[in-house]
Structure 1
């Protein structure tokens, strides 16, 4: 039986959590972090913003290749219509977490897969609601002191110590981590890659 050759897969991100998610699917890939400037129109909907950012990253990397599937992803945290990005410093992290505590916010993860050869692309996103438990100032400062919040949208990581801050979620956990895995599998299937078959062969 002839085994179909899988095209090269390029992850346009150096995010450890996204690497772990791709590893969990048994996919062979290499990393080429995007250098695209992450700009967006704040008047656009969160869904449009996060899809545009993911597409910017994938497009920036795809132009360097003649073949291969480039995966771009981006995650934003939205509270009462306001996008909360990565904190600039500990003071901003404290402000974000103080606003999020006791409240429900939405995490959106955008995903783009671009075929560098044909230019075919799939772009989409998913959103998940997250309820963060009430916290006092001392607890927030203790979490910030771990260093975990400093490179995370919304100043927390649900896959790390930030899990202790979350009461419940409504939606896809992996969207909060930073890459909606089921959506990625659907996109890859459109390029002829069945992740279940790949897992069985590995």
Structure 2
């Protein structure tokens, strides 16, 4: 297989791709995610806007890194959390994280993860959607949220939580791919990469 590059600075995506046994390097993609997000989400009547968003962000990340690494296979990925039609991104503050986690309590939300794989003459772009439900908000949940925020873990994660580690205590159920919620649907990525050999 050609040289493999993960267009991400996410330690979780790096960990997950390593789980597949691939030898790869990481090159973070410097793109204007906010501009792309605003452009796609402006069309509020588009039922597929969230899947389109993660696929477009993933593709732009992969494309940005591929421009400088045309001899490689490049993987881009992006994840968003959606509840009641609203995107929950990375929190900007402790208060923002607390509001997100409180709003998600007792509710089902969807975690969309997009993946784009690029190489010379080949392109594969897809997404995964997994339904996650948080426990109902009560005193116990409030204390969990406060402790979780104090740990500092929520601040680099969409929706202010990670399914692995202490964030798992907030979750009542999951329907779909655990690893997709973590940031990369590894089984599907592994199978997709087989076409790039």
Q: TM-score, normalised by structure 1?
A: 0.88
SS at match of 1:140: helix
Unaligned runs of 5+ in 2: none
The alpha carbon displacement at 1:187 in A equals 1.5
- Distance in structure 2 (CA, Å) of the matches to 1:119 and 1:147: 42
- Distance in structure 1 (CA, Å) of the matches to 2:181 and 2:157: 11
**1:93 alignment partner in structure 2:** 97
- Distance in structure 2 (CA, Å) of the matches to 1:80 and 1:190: 36
Cα offsets for 1:104-153 (capped at 9, x unmatched): 100010000000xx242100000000011123433322210010101100
- Distance in structure 2 (CA, Å) of the matches to 1:173 and 1:59: 27
Say if 2:161 and 2:167, in contact at 8 Å, map to a contact too: yes
The alpha carbon displacement at 1:174 in A equals 0.8
- Distance in structure 2 (CA, Å) of the matches to 1:62 and 1:37: 16
The reply to whether residue 74 of structure 1 matches residue 57 of structure 2 is no
- Distance in structure 2 (CA, Å) of the matches to 1:49 and 1:159: 24
Q: Answer 1 or 2: which has greater helix percent.
A: 2
Alignment of 1:140-151 (within 5 A): 140-151=145-156
Q: TM-score, normalised by structure 2?
A: 0.91
How many pairs align? 185
Unaligned runs of 5+ in 1: 1-5, 193-202
1:10 to 2, 5, 10: 5
Larger Rg: 1
1:132 to 134, 141, 147: 134
The alpha carbon displacement at 1:160 in A equals 1.7
SS at match of 1:128: strand
SS at match of 1:109: strand
**2:52 alignment partner in structure 1:** 48
- Distance in structure 1 (CA, Å) of the matches to 2:156 and 2:196: 32
The alpha carbon displacement at 1:183 in A equals 1.7
